[in-house]
């Protein structure tokens, strides 16, 4: 791929809440305000910010799930605003989402095999579906034994592996992970994070990793974008942003990240009470 994997130019997104009065105006919520950024092929970009900062809204727009109110989004060289149905199918094959809640995103009435094969069928991917399902399940540390089972038969970490396998099935070049490990405990979370890192390297994937946890982003990403109130307030190589902390908001986010020292101090303070 030549050029950026994803380009976002001056994108804004406004939602309208229900009217508070019968004939009054609909209140506006500005989820994004003139956001511009680029994601380079093979890059691991972290998008961080507090709840309500606009990071998940930006992800939905990148995936073509919603249109922007203003601005332009280009994925793989295709402008989403003017894309035909066939072009959007190609875009959706090239960019896939790993959901935050694997149990909520996996149909409990479907077997794992059907869940993982679903995007292949929906996007018309012409491969041997059975072989591809077995291949991606193996790549995430599950085997063909999982094909005939149902989501409730798996642990939280295993369900997230199924969600990753489903996203990988149509062979995307871009993976978007939206708070994909926030519901997991620490030991399982680290296993899933390391799996994502290995897969992005082995498959030469571009990763857009969305999180409120700056420690996780520091571990995962080569570059970081910090969002607040629907705007980008800071961006750059991860190590530089974490070291410089030129934006007070970034410093506040970093100060809230637990470290070994702060965890030990809190435990000591709790014992002294």
| 78-131: pLDDT as tens digits | 999 989 999 999 999 999 999 877 677 788 899 999 999 999 999 989 899 999
209 versus 185: which is more confidently predicted? 209
- For residues 99 and 181, what is the distance between their CA atoms, to the nearest angstrom? 9
* pLDDT cut 90: percent of the chain above it: 58
- For residues 182 and 140, what is the distance between their CA atoms, to the nearest angstrom? 18
pLDDT at 52: 86
Please report the DSSP string for 31-66 in residue order.
Answer: EEEEEEEEE-TT-EEEEE--TTSSHHHHHHHHTTSS
266 versus 155: which is more confidently predicted? 155
pLDDT at 271: 52
Element spanning 217, H or E: helix 214-220
| CATH architecture of the domain formed by 6-272 | 3-Layer(aba) Sandwich (3.40)
Nearest to residue 181, comparing CAs of 219, 153, 222? 219
* pLDDT cut 70: percent of the chain above it: 86
**pLDDT band at 268; cut points 50, 70, 90:** very low
Beta strands of the chain (E only): which ranges?
6-16, 28-39, 44-48, 70-75, 78-79, 95-98, 174-178, 206-211, 223-228, 231-237
With 80 as the cut, is the pLDDT of residue 134 above it? yes
Q: What is the mean pLDDT of residues 233-240?
A: 90
- For residues 119 and 170, what is the distance between their CA atoms, to the nearest angstrom? 7
**pLDDT band at 213; cut points 50, 70, 90:** confident
* pLDDT tens for each residue of 144-169: 899 999 999 998 889 999 999 999 99
pLDDT at 162: 93
Q: What's the mean per-residue pLDDT of the chain?
A: 86
pLDDT at 196: 92
Contact 47, 11 (CB under 8 A): no
pLDDT at 19: 67
With 60 as the cut, is the pLDDT of residue 1 above it? no
pLDDT at 3: 85
Three-class DSSP category at 175? strand
Question: Structure pTM?
Answer: 0.85
Please report the DSSP string for 117-155 in residue order.
Answer: HHHHHHTT--S-HHHHHHHHHHHTT--GGGTT--GGGS-
- For residues 250 and 226, what is the distance between their CA atoms, to the nearest angstrom? 7
Q: What is the mean pLDDT of residues 210-225?
A: 88
* pLDDT tens for each residue of 68-77: 999 999 999 9
Contact 123, 62 (CB under 8 A): no
């Amino acid at each position: 791929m030549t050029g950026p994997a994803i380009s976002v130019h001056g994108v804004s997104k406004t939602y309208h809440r229900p009217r508070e009065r019968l004939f009054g105006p609909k209140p506006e919520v500005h989820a994004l305000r003139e956001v511009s950024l680029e994601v380079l092929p093979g890059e691991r970009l972290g998008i961080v910010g507090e709840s309500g900062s606009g990071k998940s809204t930006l992800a939905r727009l990148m995936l073509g799930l919603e249109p922007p109110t203003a601005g332009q989004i280009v994925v793989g060289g295709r402008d989403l605003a003017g894309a035909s149905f066939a072009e959007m199918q190609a875009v959706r094959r090239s960019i896939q989402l790993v959901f935050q809640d694997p149990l909520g995103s996996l149909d409990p009435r479907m077997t794992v095999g059907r869940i993982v094969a679903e995007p292949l069928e929906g996007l018309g991917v012409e491969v041997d579906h059975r072989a591809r399902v077995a291949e991606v399940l193996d790549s995430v540390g599950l085997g063909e034994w999982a094909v005939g089972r149902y989501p409730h038969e798996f642990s939280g970490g295993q369900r997230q592996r199924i969600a990753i396998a489903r996203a990988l099935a149509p062979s995307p070049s871009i993976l978007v992970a939206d708070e994909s490990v926030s519901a997991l405990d620490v030991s399982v979370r680290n296993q899933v994070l390391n799996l994502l890192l290995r897969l992005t390297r082995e498959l030469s994937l571009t990763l857009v990793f969305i999180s409120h946890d700056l420690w996780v982003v520091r571990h995962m990403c080569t570059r970081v974008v910090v969002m607040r109130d629907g705007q980008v307030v800071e961006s750059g190589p991860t190590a530089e942003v974490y070291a410089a902390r030129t934006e007070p908001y970034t410093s506040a986010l970093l100060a809230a990240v637990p470290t070994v020292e702060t965890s030990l101090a809190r435990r000591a303070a709790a014992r002294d009470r």
